Structure 1
Amino acid sequence: MRELAERLGVNPNTVAAAYRTLRERGVIETAGRRGSRVRSKPATTARELIRVEVPPGVRNLSEGNPDPALLPALAGAFAAAAEEGDREPVLYGHAPVEPELARLARAGLDADGVPDGPVAVTSGALDAMERVLMAHLRPGDAVAVEDPGWGSLLDLVPALGLRTVPVGVDDEGPSPDDVRKALAGGARALIVTDRAQNPTGAALSAARARALRTVLADHPETLLVEDDHGHHIVDLPLHALAGTTRSWAFVRSAAKAYGPDLRLAVLTGDAVTLDRVRGRQRLGPGWVSRIVQRAVVRLWSEGAVDPAAVAARYGRRRDALIGELARRGITAHGRSGMNVWVPVPDETGAVARLLHAGWAVAPGARFRLSAPPGIRVTVSTLAEGETEPLAETIAAALGPAGGPVRTYA
């Protein structure tokens, strides 16, 4: 920095500020004494650009959205929340969390075995994860992430100036051996999806959760972040890891079950983590609209979503596609949620051939770091009569010349 300051004829503090800005924007990544390196691509939107342009007439199964037909109507809940807001308007200095929302959320967390902790409300799961990571980590710190995993998270981590360490996943969740290796190698945080993992549909089993707790017990200083966005759309039990380490956070989003536009997630965790998150939130947006929070309370209280029915509907669609693919000799994965992951030998070719045949799927490059190639098929709106034609088209797109297909673990 001193050399650059002398060469440019500026104050060293100016150079330091420029480096800091580049780290914050994800243009460079730092690696301690090994220095700083320019990233090959800007981090903020790299994976968002890996999209399929869907022409008219093509069936779009690429976007990862829930089935609109399974989302609840919002008008009544918001009307009631607005009326309540007219009677008791929320003003500056009022509590940022709706008391009834906190009570219902805490009751649900208690029922699922999530350790006791304060409750905060954020603008979705990704907002919660960003706040938790920034509350504990510094630029250059390493974060262990699932590979393949959520593309937005894989972009967020380097955008914060942090380094991603890939951890392989199978149908039961992250590999304990990979997690052990990542933490032993210096990763300061681990992010785990409990159920409905995007893109593979993985869900933590009881045995896998026990194995991961054993690994984490040897690294008690690890920041553990859990994402349970599958709440109310899956019928598999939760096997939470929360509380295994000193610093932990558990995020439960309303997006998949109640609607992405609600932009609401419930966050709990250890007292220090939540205190830091809430303190920083006060200096930014302040709070998530209490009208939105009250509307969600109405949706929860009135049973606007039947979790078992929604989970069964998604499960039938996943199982049907996986079964049809298996009958054609193709291995696919989708233990929970609304996506099916299909390992392929040639990702670009498979996506292009499917698009030409009238089906748009998501290229696996949006979700991968070092994992083998694949495609993600969102089955949330897949009709019964579409399953067999889609499986037949996928089989044809892979073709006999593609060679053996590797699994994603």
Structure 2
Amino acid sequence: MPGQYQVTGETAAEISASIESGIVHGDWVSGAALPSVRALAESLHVSPATVAKAYQELRQRGVIETEGRRGTRVRARPALAVPRSGARLPAPAGLRDLSTGEPDIRLLPPLGPLLAVVAAETGPPQAYATAVTMPELIEAARPRLLAQGIPVEEATFAVTAGALDSIERVLIAHLRPGDAVAVEDPGWAGLIDLIAALGMRVLPFAVDAEGPDPGQLAAALQAGARAVVITVRAQNPTGAAVSAERAARLRELLAGHPEVVVIEDDHAAELAEQAPHCVGPVTRSWAFVRSASKPFGPDLRIAVLAGDETTVARVVGRMRIGMGWVSTTLQRLLLRLWQDPGVTAQVATAAESYARRRRALRDELRAFGIPATGDSGINVWIPVPDETLAVAAMRDAGYAVAPGSIFRVRSESAIRITISALDEAEIPELARAVAAAVRPSAVAGPMR
């Protein structure tokens, strides 16, 4: 039991090692509360600062997490063995699963016909010496991004195996274990896990409807962040999109930190109805990532990476001693998807459908007095007083939703609902169930 385990140590390193040993051996189970800093300091006869530093080291490595008034707890999903981004269990039978974060498979363009075209035009099989980033794809990517207002006139391009692969390669190109990365809070669980896996530290900053909070980002930069990752639009999990005004403020802020690596993630791409407002290029090292997985399907693991010459050269050089290149079959397929008018129309239809469903759920919840957010993308973020109770209440009502703890570092409790599996007719009933779970007093009368 947690109360029976005796933490030992006189230094922060010894204390953190003792706590981690207890977790590894099962003396502290996932979700168990740790002693307060003051209580543990008194027990070990050390200063509170020593215990606070031990807890800080464990948080940065993803072993424990702080949940505001609930105190410090053993993280429910250890960073590497069972990452928060990959630990979602299938929803129990009978539940409507709104926890996935995945696009609506009914709206994805069929790949079979275009794969047949690619197979017919590929020619001789590619060899190790000839399989590279296709010039044709880059030639198509630059004007495509420029037409959407993304400043890549002078950028160098590469092709990677998806958004997270791009971000990992850029971080490795410039940072080392122990370096700090400023990230959105709440933010993408996969990114938080990636930073922990790389041995780097997370410095969180808040996000509102217009994107990163400039004051909190400034604090993260002052605290030593060597890189910052910003979601341009369809931020996961809040649905935020960087506004033109906010982008200008962030450019002004980052201009004073020319050594910081700025990474911009546009994972939603054509599925986001808002125009992208980029922050970079403003520092010496900058990268913009455009993934294909959301508009064209999660199995299409490919992304276009644009950035400064040094950053992209380092990424490409590292790829040569690892995976080498992204399949030219995938590259040709992405090019065909971009060039097909029918696919373009399908993606636009999907974007409109997501927008209707997301706004409908958000507006229904706001009518109940629940300040839900979701201005872009496929998710709605809902603040709740207690995540455990809210998730359980939604389960009892027949819905599986994602607990906010997967996405949070320091931000307040919430749940995330993915709207891609919903039909519009289901939304009023769902909103009523959420209101009953989060604010029962707001729901008058029986469930419809």
Determine the C-alpha separation between the residues in 1 that align with 2:111 and 2:150.
30
Is contact 1:81–1:292 with CA below 8 Å preserved after alignment?
no
- 1:391 corresponds to which of 402, 406, 431: 431
State the 1:89 CA deviation. Answer: 2.5
Q: Does 1:132 align with 2:132?
A: no
Give per-residue Cα distances to partners, 1:142-200, cap 9 Å, x unaligned: 00000000001011001101000001000110000111111111110000000000000
**Which letter does structure 2 place at the counterpart of 1:171?**
A
Q: Does 1:169 align with 2:207?
A: yes
Q: Partner of 1:260: helix, strand, or coil?
A: coil
Determine the C-alpha separation between the residues in 2 that align with 1:393 and 1:269.
45
Bigger RCO (CA 8 Å, 6+ sep): 1
Distance change (3 Å), C-alpha of 1:53 and 1:91: closer
Q: Partner of 2:432: helix, strand, or coil?
A: helix
Give per-residue Cα distances to partners, 1:10-51, cap 9 Å, x unaligned: xxxxxxxxxxxxxxxxxxxxxxxx999554254223313653
Give per-residue Cα distances to partners, 1:266-314, cap 9 Å, x unaligned: 1010000000000000101111100111111111111313243222111
Query: Given the two structures, how large is their TM-score scaled by the length of structure 1?
Result: 0.87
**Which letter does structure 2 place at the counterpart of 1:238?**
P
State the 1:241 CA deviation. Answer: 1.3
Match of 1:156 in 2: 194
Determine the C-alpha separation between the residues in 1 that align with 2:204 and 2:260.
16
Match of 2:326 in 1: 288
Match of 1:228 in 2: 266
- Between the two proteins, the alignment pairs up a number of residues equal to 370
Determine the C-alpha separation between the residues in 2 that align with 1:50 and 1:83.
40
Match of 1:54 in 2: 91
Is contact 1:147–1:169 with CA below 8 Å preserved after alignment?
yes
Is contact 1:201–1:335 with CA below 8 Å preserved after alignment?
yes
Unaligned stretches of 5+ in structure 2?
1-52, 65-77, 443-448
Is contact 2:251–2:280 with CA below 8 Å preserved after alignment?
no
State the 1:132 CA deviation. Answer: 0.4
Is contact 1:52–1:362 with CA below 8 Å preserved after alignment?
no
State the 1:84 CA deviation. Answer: 2.1
How do 1:18-167 residues align onto structure 2 when only pairs under 5 Å count? 37=57, 39=61, 40=63, 42-44=78-80, 45-48=82-85, 51=88, 53-85=90-122, 87-94=123-130, 96-111=132-147, 112-115=149-152, 116-167=154-205
| Over 6 Å off, 4+ runs | none
Determine the C-alpha separation between the residues in 2 that align with 1:59 and 1:52.
14
**Which letter does structure 2 place at the counterpart of 1:100?**
E
Q: Does 1:345 align with 2:385?
A: yes
Distance change (3 Å), C-alpha of 1:46 and 1:401: farther
Match of 1:201 in 2: 239
Aligned residues: percent identity? 52
What's the C-alpha RMSD, in Å, of the aligned pairs?
1.9
Determine the C-alpha separation between the residues in 2 that align with 1:338 and 1:138.
34
Determine the C-alpha separation between the residues in 2 that align with 1:113 and 1:49.
31
How do 1:212-291 residues align onto structure 2 when only pairs under 5 Å count? 212-291=250-329
Determine the C-alpha separation between the residues in 2 that align with 1:155 and 1:378.
21
Of residues 44-53 and 139-148 in structure 1, the stretch that sits farther from structure 2 once superposed is 44-53
**Which letter does structure 2 place at the counterpart of 1:179?**
L
Distance change (3 Å), C-alpha of 1:172 and 1:382: same
Is contact 1:225–1:250 with CA below 8 Å preserved after alignment?
yes
Match of 2:344 in 1: 305
Give per-residue Cα distances to partners, 1:228-254, cap 9 Å, x unaligned: 012110111111112111001110000
Determine the C-alpha separation between the residues in 1 that align with 2:131 and 2:313.
14
- 1:372 corresponds to which of 412, 417, 440: 412
Is contact 1:78–1:292 with CA below 8 Å preserved after alignment?
no
Determine the C-alpha separation between the residues in 2 that align with 1:53 and 1:268.
36
Query: Given the two structures, how large is their TM-score scaled by the length of structure 2?
Result: 0.79
Distance change (3 Å), C-alpha of 1:213 and 1:74: same
Q: Partner of 1:262: helix, strand, or coil?
A: coil
Unaligned stretches of 5+ in structure 1?
1-33, 403-409
**Which letter does structure 2 place at the counterpart of 1:108?**
R
Determine the C-alpha separation between the residues in 2 that align with 1:286 and 1:68.
31
Q: Does 1:327 align with 2:367?
A: yes
Determine the C-alpha separation between the residues in 1 that align with 2:430 and 2:191.
29
Is contact 1:234–1:308 with CA below 8 Å preserved after alignment?
no
Determine the C-alpha separation between the residues in 2 that align with 1:256 and 1:70.
11
Q: Partner of 2:306: helix, strand, or coil?
A: strand
Q: Partner of 1:146: helix, strand, or coil?
A: strand
State the 1:331 CA deviation. Answer: 1.0
